[in-house]
Amino acid sequence: MPVKILLTWDIRPEHEQEYFEFVIGEFIPVVQRLGLQPIEAWATMYGNYPQIQVGLLAEDEKSAYRVLRSPEWARLQEQLFNFVQNLAIKVVPARTGFQF
């Protein structure tokens, strides 16, 4: 059964340009190489919620956790921390539409 890996974070102030370059140039290609499919990205425009939410699709829960425990994911997450704060990760059954 497909699952979504939901990631939320806030972009570090004054790192927006480097953040966007990293996400497009490294984060997305590595995520895809690890076997996950980026399917959605949301930005909070108003309110006290995480600034960014990203949804990655995995074929099942076992493969999602295999990726999240991999050394490649650890390296990617370490790089991401250069540009974001308040990272949270959740694995949930995949549904269509917005999930939080």
Per-residue pLDDT of 4-38, as tens digits, reads 999 999 999 999 999 999 999 999 999 999 999 99
Q: Find out whether 55 and 5 touch, Cβ atoms under 8 Å.
A: yes
Per-residue pLDDT of 36-67, as tens digits, reads 999 999 999 888 899 999 999 999 999 999 99
Structural domain for 11, as ranges: 3-51+59-93
Task: Count CB-CB contacts under 10 A for residue 22.
Answer: 18
Q: What is the CATH number of the domain that holds 66?
A: 3.30.70.100
- In angstroms, rounded to a whole number, what is the distance separating the alpha carbons of residues 70 and 78? 13
98 occurs within a structural domain: no
pTM reported for the whole predicted model: 0.90
33 occurs within a structural domain: yes
Q: Is 75 helix (H, G, I), strand (E, B) or coil?
A: helix
Q: Find out whether 39 and 7 touch, Cβ atoms under 8 Å.
A: no
- In angstroms, rounded to a whole number, what is the distance separating the alpha carbons of residues 35 and 1? 15
Total domain count for the chain? 1
Q: Is 16 helix (H, G, I), strand (E, B) or coil?
A: helix
For residue 98, name the pLDDT band (cuts at 50, 70, 90). Answer: low
